Amino acid sequence: MKAETREQQTQSSLVDRFNRRIDYLRISVTDRCDLRCVYCMSEDMQFVPRSQLLTLEELYRVGKAFVDMGVNKIRITGGEPLTRRGIMQLFQSLGTLDGLQDLTLTTNGTLLKQHARALKAAGVTRINISLDTLRAERFHSITRIGDICRTLAGIDAALDAGFQRVKINSVILKNRNHDEIPDLVAFAEHRGMDISFIEEMPLGEIGDHNRAELFYSSDQVLQDLQRHYDLIPTTETSGGPARYHRINGSDTRVGFISPHSHNFCEQCNRVRLTAEGRLLLCLGQEHSKDLRRVVRANPLNEEPLRKAIIDAMQIKPKGHDFDITAQPVLFRHMNVTGG
């Protein structure tokens, strides 16, 4: 990633049937995780056998092919990306790609203390850290097994390493953590961070709660916050689906990711790669292309991979049909999807 090439960046050549330009790739590098958040996973998850995962070299090849076709933002996610063995190698190699303006990470923060500085050195531009509560017991209950101290230490480590615009992601569930919304914002503001509130999405069986019963909309979150903060709507974007407000007199942005109440499909600019090499064209639909097969069948020739990616744009659906009240939900869990 070089500053001068950022300025010269041309538009992505990947365009779908609805004239949406795809310039953003999210890569789930593993479906495994050291936590078991109740909205994301079930208690006894079956994970993909390691032999079926794309290797780090294959992940790089796919990432590079996208960047060569104009994708300028890659987010590494999972599962918990920092649990994948050797993952720093992928950050380091992607970090050298000309044309990649933004190399970002979504993490639960538990391993950031060890890795934050190396991530910065590798060229990671921004980090999102998931934190739904500030209370240790609640954290343990929402994550089923987690220790909040590790995530808090990870947040400190990201800030100490010099990351700008660190963002907290909070999924809000009624009667589980909705009473902490102002506290979470205060926590972020105090540390100069941004925060986004996410509506729970119906991905995979979780065996914990009825998603419709615990649904807490972005509008409710906003109303709660307006009792404590003067929030000014902005048109700012971080290249994702969040709609932002700024806290009057502060740098902190408060984002809302609202797949149910404010569908964001019309401006969709992204596709997702699963750890097995399946290219998902939509978060909430099953349209996909098997890129692992293409990569492995053509170890020395990138042309078939490029063609497969271009062809896949033609099956990107218009949007998701999330219905929080519908059963069954999409079988695929968020850790596989790469949330």
- The Cα 122–Cα 96 span in angstroms is 8
Cβ–Cβ contacts within 10 Å for residue 31, how many? 24
The answer to whether 268 touches 19, Cβ cutoff 8 Å, is no
Of 14-22, 33-41, 48-56, 174-182, the window that binds ligand SAM (rule: CB under 6 A) is 33-41
Q: What three-state secondary structure class fits 17?
A: coil
Q: Pick what 152 binds: ligand SF4, ligand SAM, none; C-beta below 5 to 8 Å, kind-dependent.
A: none
- Shortest distance, position 321 Cβ to ligand SF4, whole Å: 22
Q: Are 103 and 123 in contact (CB under 8 A)?
A: yes
Out of ligand SF4, ligand SAM, none, what residue 200 binds, judged by CB under 5 to 8 A for its kind, is ligand SAM
Nearer to ligand SF4, 106 or 218 (CB): 106
Chain residues in the site for ligand SF4 (CB under 6 A): 33, 35-37, 40-41, 78-80, 108, 130, 334-335
Residue ranges with strand state E in 108-236: 126-130, 167-171, 194-198, 231-233
Q: Which is nearer to ligand SF4, 37 or 295 (CB)?
A: 37
At 91, list the tokens.
């950050």
Q: Angle formed by the axes of helices 303-312 and 56-68, to 10°? A: 70
253 C-beta neighbours (distance < 10 Å), count: 21
Q: How many CB atoms lie within 10 A of CB 263?
A: 15
Binding mask 40-79 for ligand SAM (x = CB under 6 A): x------------------------------------xx-
User: x/- site string to ligand SAM, residues 221 to 250, per CB under 6 A?
Assistant: ------------------------------
Binding footprint of ligand SAM on the chain (CB under 6 A): 33, 39-40, 77-78, 80, 106-108, 130, 169, 171, 198, 200-201, 203, 334-335, 339
